[in-house]
Structure 1
């Protein structure tokens, strides 16, 4: 299985079959908003979504951007990973 980067998304392939994806938008030049995470039901429980979110985090770090986790999985991932909190986008009140 391998992770590929597309336009505003990362996806995982098992051979030629796409088995998961995470999509994001650039709401601001320095903010990536993760808006969707999906893993094929037959592949759930194998940490694929976790790897896809990590790919977005790695991209954000590389490009000196922050992340706004919009989808429920991304929100939960950031709550569980305190070391990634520093990269979260801080919304102004």
Structure 2
């Protein structure tokens, strides 16, 4: 993995993503359910990057952001939900 995780947000929904050669190869998409509540909708990682912990990197980037912004998270995405169950140190952001 070479690129840096980027973040885009349009005021309602957004994503943390990784691009390689102008193509998104990994992405965690969310929607805001209120000013301080975020729903993680889904996570997608390109087949070529599977097994490298990219999804977790995206989640950690998102957790860092919501901690700074004092936002609570509802993980509807099965991947994110499973990661929160595994990683106790991330659970402080859960709604």
Q: Same fold (TM over 0.5)?
A: yes
Indicate the residue corresponding to 1:78 in structure 2.
84
Q: Flag as ranges the 4+ runs of structure 1 deviating above 2 A.
A: 14-17
**Cα distance, 1:29 vs. partner?**
1.1
User: What is the CA deviation profile of residues 39-92 of structure 1, one whole-angstrom value per residue up to 9, with x for unaligned ones?
Assistant: 001111111111111111111001011111111000001001111112100xxx
Measured on the aligned residues, the alpha-carbon RMSD in Å equals 1.0
Asked whether 1:20 is paired with 2:22, we answer no
| Unmatched runs of 5 consecutive residues or more in structure 1 | none
| Unmatched runs of 5 consecutive residues or more in structure 2 | none
The separation in 2 between residues aligned to 1:62 and 1:56, in whole angstroms, is 10
The separation in 2 between residues aligned to 1:85 and 1:13, in whole angstroms, is 27
